[in-house]
């Protein structure tokens, strides 16, 4: 099997390594089958699509809605590299799965409006598959509705032509989407369980996702949430696209 490539952008080693472990667990892939490249540390190398089964993008501290003048040089570079890569992936209809940051990147690339209207605090909302989602192989076997962890400052508020909404919720209308046949993105985090979310939150106190004095409560709450159905997205993506 050709490996999958995970593009990461988390600057701190703790959450970056934990995210990689979470993707390994939820995809069912071994390290040799899921190669990680940390974009915030090194520019994107030349990618030959024929060498890979698919490409995934994890979450990020970067936001599309950050004013251009306030973005760091690293964020400008990462956005340009991801945009250029998506040019190729969309044209080739190449397997892609973006989680949280990935939905903003893919949506923005397709002309969606990304803004703060449907930002969500740390929570596990009830998410419903649309008719398109119920028939999509990457959503196979999922409960409907299901719960998944979210925490984001921006989301898609206007869906452009060519974007198929696969899952929605009352708090955020675009929780999962598809472009063409093989490019997917989720607003929710299909790689997280309660323990991994609690661990990630410990690195993001003071970043505006929750009040500083809420950390212990949120970590305890996360352990009580059943988000197991959301993990099927990653395992299904791999099963459909491994080659």
How many CB atoms are located within 10 Å of the residue 68 CB? 8
Domains of the chain in start order, with CATH, are: 4-241 (3.40.50.880)
CB 200 within 8 A of CB 19: yes
pLDDT of residue 11: 86
Tens-digit pLDDT profile for residues 78-132: 999 999 999 999 999 999 999 999 899 999 999 999 999 999 999 999 999 999 9
CA distances, 143 to each of 167, 186, 230, 231, 233 (Å): 12, 16, 8, 11, 11
For residue 12, pLDDT beyond 90: no
pTM over 0.85: yes
pLDDT tens-digit readout, 28-69: 999 999 999 999 999 999 999 999 999 999 999 899 999 999
């Amino acid at each position: 099997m050709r490996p999958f490539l995970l593009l990461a952008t988390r600057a701190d080693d703790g959450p970056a390594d934990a995210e990689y472990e979470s993707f390994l667990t939820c995809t069912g892939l071994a390290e040799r089958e899921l190669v990680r490249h940390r974009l915030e540390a090194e520019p994107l190398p030349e990618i030959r699509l024929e060498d890979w089964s698919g490409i995934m993008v994890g979450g990020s501290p970067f936001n599309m809605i950050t004013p251009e003048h306030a973005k760091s040089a690293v964020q400008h570079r990462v956005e340009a590299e991801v945009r250029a890569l998506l040019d190729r992936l969309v044209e080739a209809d190449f397997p892609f799965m973006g989680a949280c940051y990935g939905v903003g990147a893919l949506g923005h690339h397709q002309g969606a409006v990304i803004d703060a209207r449907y930002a969500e605090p740390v929570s596990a909302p009830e998410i419903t598959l649309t008719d398109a989602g119920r028939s999509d192989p990457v959503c196979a076997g999922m409960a409907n509705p299901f719960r998944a962890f979210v925490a984001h400052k921006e989301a898609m508020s206007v869906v452009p032509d060519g974007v198929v909404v696969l899952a929605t919720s009352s708090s955020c209308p675009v929780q999962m989407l598809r472009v063409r046949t093989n490019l997917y993105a989720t607003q929710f985090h299909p790689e997280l369980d309660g323990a991994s979310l609690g661990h990630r939150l410990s690195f993001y106190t003071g970043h505006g996702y929750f009040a500083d004095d809420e950390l212990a409560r949120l970590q305890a709450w996360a352990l009580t949430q059943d988000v197991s159905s959301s993990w099927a997205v990653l395992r299904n993506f791999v099963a459909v696209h491994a080659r």
